[in-house]
Amino acid sequence: MVRGKTQLKRIENTTSRQATFSKRRKGLLKKASELSVLCDADVALIIFSPRGKLNQYASSSMEETIGRYKRHVKNTQDSTSPFVDQNAQPLKHEAQRMSKKIEQLETSKRKLLGEDLGKCSIRGLRKIERQLDRSISIIRARKTSLYRKLIEQLKEKERILVAENAMLREKLRLDQHQISNEDNAAVSIVETALSIGLPDQILNYTLFLQQ
């Protein structure tokens, strides 16, 4: 029978959790020892139990291995810092430039809205006035263009409606003409039936009287 895979989650039962910890701790310490012997690696392993008890393994000296680890981390950080600073410097300048540009745009926006005009000179006010005039011209041109498009659309709808109305009138005229022809044909049939003559009995009685 195939053994199911153990789901990795916290074991809720305290007894089972302690038994699993003890079993896997021994296996982990054994693997660390084997790794050190087979691969000539400097291995240091620190484990704290759920109750806070320390369990450790070191192939040489735990203090020396930890010191070696700290020196390695420090050297790695020192070697990457110039590279990080070198790449971050252009980004910093770009961020400052964008910040100044945003500030200038915000100031210009407030002035166009009629705010913060107390410090503006005559020349600055004239410049703002010219900007507003250009903006108004652009807005009016855009509005006129939209009106023209709307008028063209309405004219096109009008042409379509006029054509549809003409088609309906023509269809109505043809239907009325067809109905008129059918009525005339019916009247003709009735008149023909009435003009055929007298019934046979009356005709025979008339001939008898003539004799």
CA dist 117 and 177 (Å) reads: 79
CATH fold of 14-60: SRF-like (3.40.1810)
d(CA 168, CA 175): 10
User: Rounded CA gap, 29 and 59, in Å?
Assistant: 11
The model's pTM = 0.35
For 166, residues 6+ apart whose C-beta sits below 8 A from its C-beta are none
b/e code 53-79 from CB counts within 10 Å (16+ = b): eeeebbbeeeeebeeeeeeeeeeeeee
> Both tokens of residue 73?
């981390």
DSSP the chain: -PPPPPP-S---SHHHHHHHHHHHHHHHHHHHHHHHHHH----EEEEE-TT--EEEEESS-HHHHHHHHHHHHHHHHHHHHHHHHHHHHHHHHHHHHHHHHHHHHHHHHHHHTT-S-TT--HHHHHHHHHHHHHHHHHHHHHHHHHHHHHHHHHHHHHHHHHHHHHHHHHHHHHHHHHHHHHHHHHHHHHHHHHTS---HHHHHHHHHHH-
59 vs 22, 104, 105, CA distance in Å?
A: 21, 64, 65
Q: What is the pLDDT along the chain (211 residues), one digit of tens a residue?
A: 456 666 678 888 888 888 999 999 999 999 999 999 999 888 999 998 888 888 888 988 888 888 888 888 888 776 655 555 566 677 778 888 888 888 888 888 888 788 777 777 888 888 888 888 888 999 999 999 999 999 999 999 999 999 999 899 888 888 887 877 776 666 565 555 444 444 555 555 555 555 5
- What are the domain boundaries of the chain? 14-60
Instruction: State the pLDDT at residue 198.
Output: 47
Token pair for 187: 């009247």
